[in-house]
Structure 1
Amino acid sequence: MSASKGPRWISGNQVELLENGEQYFPRVFEAIRQARREVVIETFILFEDKVGQALQDVLREAALRGVKVEVMIDGFGSAGLSPAFIEALTSTGGRVRVFDPGRRIFGQRLNYFRRMHRKIVVVDGATAFVGGINFSADHLLDFGPMAKQDYAVALRGPIVGEIHHFVLRAIALGDKGASWFRRRLKATSQELLGPEGTDEVLFVTRDNRRHTNDIERHYRAAIRSARERIVIANAYFFPGYRLIQEMRRAARRGVAVHLILQGEPDMPFVKVAASMLYHHLLHAGVCIHEYIDRPLHGKVALADDQWSTVGSSNLDPLSLSLNLEANVVVRSRAFNQALWDKLHDLMQNSCKQVRTSDLTEWSAWRLVRSFFIFHLLRWYPAWVGWLPRHVPRLEPLGKQDPRRGPTQTDVA
């Protein structure tokens, strides 16, 4: 996807919803086992646990078959990988790059902001996976009470060409000495994948230069045009003023607006932050459901009977104003119905609905707090823009093939 152009609807795709690691990991690993040319992965978190080891195994096997293996991890989310783990990937010919590795000061990581939060896999330029699931064992139910509830999609069809071009461009912009990437990037712009289905798909990203609010704009447009129902399941919920206002307006005009938020959060402050908005939303008619089985990590939504989105973007200041994110937006009745079935089941069987009678805090404090929250929501996109917009750095790890580019690169 050209950086100078906005996303475009592409028809002829097949989009399949994947729930949790039990569905996601086997599909990704099998696709990698079948790879013949290339595997490109971007992930916020890669842990050195049984899932990370399984990924390492299939990538090593692919590289030994002659498949080009390219992995990009985030320097904050995947900071704990051992040299031995990286060496096992790179010794067979794979390449691992870390996004903005940062330096520890007195043992503390300080690279909190503007993270590479995307979760994308592209295999042979023909199959793609996009969503919120990291390569870590806490996305599997056998992890225990803190196992995460999450979603991703498997895609085939012409949209995969857009996604493939995007991930290669992210590397090519940085690895200026890698002539293979420049040639491959030019080739992907000319590839035309045939239709695989009937779904229309947009690939929407967020960065800190040209596409600073694209994902949020698509959310707002869907909410604004909804006539019957809106369901948003989002792990970290503290959106900006305009998104809150669109939800309130939709509920007041008779749209059934449902929010599925964390009731058993992985981080306590997540629920505290979201609950500060409950009064504003409930009194406008928005229904709030707290998911209580385990931590919710999903970032999905649907509107009416066609529009849906799945991706990496939360609805909080980090995702909406700082991080690098990627979502797919789907126009498909069948996919919308599949997502509705999953979310409806969550609301019916795994959630506690929050009612106005549950809000018992002192009314005067609520009034004061609401005043400050109102202004925080209204102005935080401008405030976070003042944070340093450093040039994100991609740094290769482990032994690298000297024919594949320089030892350190910068991404614009």
Structure 2
Amino acid sequence: MNVAVEHISTDQPPDQAKARDLDYGWQSGNQVQLLENGEAYFPEVFTALREARREILLETFILFEDKVGHELHGILIEAARRGVNVVVSLDGFGCGELSPSFLGELAAAGVAVQMFDPAPKTLGIRTNWFRRLHRKIVVVDAEVAFIGGINFSADHLGDYGPEAKQDYAVKVIGPAVADLHHFALAQSGRQVRTRRGWRRRQQRPQIWSTDKGDGQVRLIYRDNAQHRDDIEEAYIHALSKAQTRAVIANAYFFPGYRLLREIRNAARRGVHVQLIMQGQPDVLLAKLAARMLYDYLLKDGVVIHEYCQRPLHGKVALVDDEWSTVGSSNLDPLSLSLNLEANVLIRDRAFNQQLYERLEALAKNHCQTMPKKRKPRLWLWRLTVGFLVFHVMRHFPALTGWLPAHKPRLKPFEAQRHDV
């Protein structure tokens, strides 16, 4: 999807301009609520959807026809029938197994259903693996917004069993919702009137105030046009300023060298850096790839935990006692180089502390900590496999460039009814 994006003109060198740009776009006066797992997320979202009066904008990577998907399905149909403008954007890979009847009932009720890069199976296999719509955003009446890593599927609930995912999202109420609304509306292909309020702010952010108890929020996103590395740059910028602590909990961890180096450098200068990784991965290659980086980080003091209770699906981080981020972006080649992603950056001490306490409890109670000096068995085999995995994953985005070029687009369900 091509989205017109406004840029700040500057005569500064590129590196300085990029660092300067990271200080714009913040909105003050927001209430930000941390939602952990489906048990907290789904009730909040479903309540907001049931109370919608004018508009629902929903984007998700995965929607399954399970108890969560069917509940969402019914809520959206009921909202559309009472006159709410409902726009649902689904990914053609993550939602590729939805039945025509499931989608047809939404469309028949008046829900505008769109599929991002749908493709028929080839020999029974889906081939549209790359450049996915990986965002998870819900905006209701331009008044409340949800963003994070949680899909609409029952595997985000604890009663799903050992494969239930550990994940996070946030509910936002306040001025930042206007940015999320404008963004979601533009990404859905709807005509958007340019508003001065959505332009990147031309002033420094206001100082965070404990008296007001409000949070600053900034929307950042990754696309395949002008914003290819905004999320990665936000991580690098925050870590470069870290003074006391940094915690990153990320399901798929294989960042580029610049981000990897910034994590290591923070630990070298005395910042307490903790990484929480998958210990029970849903993709074994992801765990193997991440472990190739352990020695590089451990030797400089980074503390690495592997979450072993169930699959980790979170994409959250915090730095010091104020800065946090929650969103859809992993720290791997798919998210950082190919997929469409969205995070929010948050400056809020209370939120930061709450997220820290949740992650600290996770690390202490449900993780195993990697020893600083590991003596792996079969070291020659591991070295060989590690070398191959490292370079395949590291150059994965470039390798995908050899594939036939395509420009994924959102397509109305009606035009794709027989392909879904």
What's the TM-score once normalised by structure 2's chain length?
A: 0.87
Cross-structure match for 1:152:
169
Q: What is the CA-CA distance between 1:290 and the residue it aligns to?
A: 0.4
Cross-structure match for 2:157:
140
Cross-structure match for 1:226:
242
Cross-structure match for 1:342:
358
Query: Are 2:102 and 1:85 aligned?
Result: yes
Q: What is the CA-CA distance between 1:34 and the residue it aligns to?
A: 0.6
**Could you say if the C-alpha distance between residues 335 and 385 of structure 1 is closer, same or farther in structure 2, counting changes exceeding 3 Å?**
farther
Contact 2:247 2:275 in 1 (8 A): yes
Which residues of 2 match residues 45-60 of structure 1 at below 5 A? 45-60=62-77
Paired residue for 2:265, among 249, 268, 278?
249
Gapped regions of structure 1 (runs ≥ 5): 173-180, 399-406
Contact 1:24 1:152 in 2 (8 A): yes
Contact 1:321 1:384 in 2 (8 A): no
Which whole-Å CA distance do the structure 2 matches of 1:259 and 1:358 have between them?
Answer: 17
Paired residue for 1:277, among 271, 287, 293?
293
Q: What is the CA-CA distance between 1:188 and the residue it aligns to?
A: 6.1
**Could you say if the C-alpha distance between residues 4 and 383 of structure 1 is closer, same or farther in structure 2, counting changes exceeding 3 Å?**
farther
Which residues of 2 match residues 84-123 of structure 1 at below 5 A? 84-123=101-140
**Could you say if the C-alpha distance between residues 60 and 359 of structure 1 is closer, same or farther in structure 2, counting changes exceeding 3 Å?**
farther
Which residues of 2 match residues 289-368 of structure 1 at below 5 A? 289-361=305-377
Cross-structure match for 1:401:
none
Contact 1:321 1:385 in 2 (8 A): no
Query: Are 2:283 and 1:267 aligned?
Result: yes
Q: What is the CA-CA distance between 1:358 and the residue it aligns to?
A: 3.9
What is the identity, as a one-letter code, of the residue corresponding to 1:219?
Answer: Y
Query: Are 2:302 and 1:286 aligned?
Result: yes
Which whole-Å CA distance do the structure 1 matches of 2:81 and 2:195 have between them?
Answer: 24
What is the identity, as a one-letter code, of the residue corresponding to 1:73?
Answer: L
What is the identity, as a one-letter code, of the residue corresponding to 1:94?
Answer: V
Contact 2:289 2:386 in 1 (8 A): no
What is the identity, as a one-letter code, of the residue corresponding to 1:311?
Answer: G
Contact 1:242 1:378 in 2 (8 A): no
Q: What is the CA-CA distance between 1:356 and the residue it aligns to?
A: 3.0
Which residues of 2 match residues 170-249 of structure 1 at below 5 A? 170-172=187-189, 181-182=190-191, 185-186=192-193, 198-249=214-265
- Which of 74-83 and 355-364 deviates more? 355-364
- Which of 18-27 and 3-12 deviates more? 3-12
For residues 109-149 of structure 1, the C-alpha deviation after alignment (integer angstroms, 9 at most, x for no partner) is: 11000000000000001110000000000000000000000
Which whole-Å CA distance do the structure 2 matches of 1:135 and 1:348 have between them?
Answer: 29
Q: What is the CA-CA distance between 1:383 and the residue it aligns to?
A: 4.8
What is the identity, as a one-letter code, of the residue corresponding to 1:318?
Answer: L
For residues 313-347 of structure 1, the C-alpha deviation after alignment (integer angstroms, 9 at most, x for no partner) is: 00110000000000000011111011001101101
For residues 49-108 of structure 1, the C-alpha deviation after alignment (integer angstroms, 9 at most, x for no partner) is: 000000011111111110011000000000011111112211111111000002211111
What is the identity, as a one-letter code, of the residue corresponding to 1:270?
Answer: A
SS of corresponding position for 2:47: helix
What's the TM-score once normalised by structure 1's chain length?
A: 0.88
Q: What is the CA-CA distance between 1:390 and the residue it aligns to?
A: 2.0
Which whole-Å CA distance do the structure 2 matches of 1:52 and 1:189 have between them?
Answer: 37
Cross-structure match for 2:55:
38
RMSD over aligned Cα, in angstroms?
A: 2.2
Cross-structure match for 2:92:
75
- Which of 156-165 and 135-144 deviates more? 156-165
**Could you say if the C-alpha distance between residues 373 and 223 of structure 1 is closer, same or farther in structure 2, counting changes exceeding 3 Å?**
farther
* Aligned residues between the structures: 387
What percentage of aligned pairs have identical amino acids? 57
**Could you say if the C-alpha distance between residues 88 and 229 of structure 1 is closer, same or farther in structure 2, counting changes exceeding 3 Å?**
same
Contact 2:56 2:86 in 1 (8 A): yes
What is the identity, as a one-letter code, of the residue corresponding to 2:268?
Answer: R
Contact 1:206 1:214 in 2 (8 A): yes
SS of corresponding position for 2:193: helix
Which whole-Å CA distance do the structure 1 matches of 2:311 and 2:47 have between them?
Answer: 27
**Could you say if the C-alpha distance between residues 10 and 111 of structure 1 is closer, same or farther in structure 2, counting changes exceeding 3 Å?**
same
Contact 1:240 1:377 in 2 (8 A): no
Q: What is the CA-CA distance between 1:161 and the residue it aligns to?
A: 0.7
Q: What is the CA-CA distance between 1:359 and the residue it aligns to?
A: 3.9
Paired residue for 1:4, among 3, 6, 13?
6
Gapped regions of structure 2 (runs ≥ 5): 8-20, 200-211
What is the identity, as a one-letter code, of the residue corresponding to 2:42?
Answer: F
